[in-house]
Structure 1
Amino acid sequence: MKKHTLAIGLIGLLSCFSSQADTLLGLYAGAQAWNMETKGGFSDDGTNINFNFADQTKSSFYVALEHPIPLIPNIKLQRTAMDTNGDVLVDSSFTFGGELFTANGTAVTDVKLTSTDAILYYELFDNDLISFDLGINAKYLDGELFVIDKDDPTNTGREEFSGVVPMAYSRLAIGIPATGFGAYVEGSFLSFDDQTLSDYQAALTYSLMENLAIDLTFQLGYRAVKVDLQDLDGIYSNLEFKGAFAGLEVHF
């Protein structure tokens, strides 16, 4: 009798967890094309130089694994390219990477920057109408910065930097039953002393395909990333990346 009661209890517990998730084990994979506008600047001594950056179209990819196991968080990995370039008319002399850039010249910059997010989160709500996730994000920033004298390309300053920044993470998604339409807002945020790092996106979604094997969803939204950091591996920045994106997400 005790074994029978225990078995019924376990079945009921598993049914409860299953009712809170759309599948027992869900794998999500997505790709986005981001029309990125960049503003701001950087330095290696705190006296940031603001550049005139060119607009770029960059890519972002992510995968997420969701499961019904209690206490163990779901995981999402995302990688975003944020490379850009620009120039500035030098008003007053400055140094970067040990090189001197004199006034009345033009300095060119080449920014190579990637953001890799490792997100651990819990689904507090999950149904066809509303989904709410809460967790933490370890954002790894990896960059290489060049400043080049346009008149003398041999005069080039170069700095590398990398670091992990812990951030709070949340996501809210809503769906409109029987229409295929939905929307979501997702973001990570950190504000501590003079450090501010944020990464937000909001999008409208439409289900292109939905069956027992695969779901395919189209996304159209807006993303903004702010990197306002003091002395991250020797680099100071007040950079902002923002713009519209379009993407596809596959759910297995």
Structure 2
Amino acid sequence: MRVVQITDAHLYADTQARSRAGVPWRQFQQVLSAVIAEQPDIVLFTGDISQDETADSYALAVEAMEQLPCPWYWLPGNHDQPEFMAAERPMVDQVDMGSWRILLLNTQVEGKPFGELGSERLAKLAKQLEKDDRPTLIAMHHPPVDVGAAWMDAIGLQDRDAFWQLLSQHVQVKLILFGHVHQAYAEHHRTGDATIDVYGCPAMADQFLPGAEQFAVDEASRPGYRVVDLVWSDAQGSEWQSWIERIN
């Protein structure tokens, strides 16, 4: 089963509008064309769909995403307006993938660049995990780990300790996908008796420079996406492979 993650499109209603290092709408179309060629079973859009936060920018995104040959789901990032998103396409918090399950977490804190789950969302996540022990993939916008860029680490998931404490009690969580960082990232994170693979994804728009102390655009890198192949077998249990692809 193939899952493709896209993230951080930062679209404007004006399709000719420029970002720091490109034209977001043009980059979005290029990434989407490459994603379609991957023949995904599901696409996850992990936030920051819009830059100008207009209703028209979300309508533009949905119109383009309808080209996909598979179901797709989105969740809000720190730049997004959830009410505009929901008006265009309902947001869901879980997806049944048969032998696997996907949980989509909203980490947005209104008006803030950093993320937080908070007590209510953490309690909801706990109930979801208690009810179902299938192998689980969690998708979210804000990183629950430090990625090594000081300015970005300051605006990641603020209540990550509580998040990891919760996950330490639920060994069915196998991997986490996040956006926000505009760069590839991979870590094997040990929590409790389990190791969870944690993956960041390149943006569809501008890329950020890895390891930077202050904000910096990585002008040598290209927009991209993440592919995750999920497998289940009676003999081996849950397995997966993941890698990054970039557009030319």
- Tell me which interval the TM-score lies in, with the shorter structure as reference length: under 0.3
User: Relative contact order (alpha carbons < 8 A, sep ≥ 6): 1 or 2 greater?
Assistant: 2
**Higher alpha-carbon Rg:** 1
Which protein is richer in strand relative to its size?
1
TM, length-normalised to structure 1: 0.27
TM-score, structure 2 normalization:
0.28
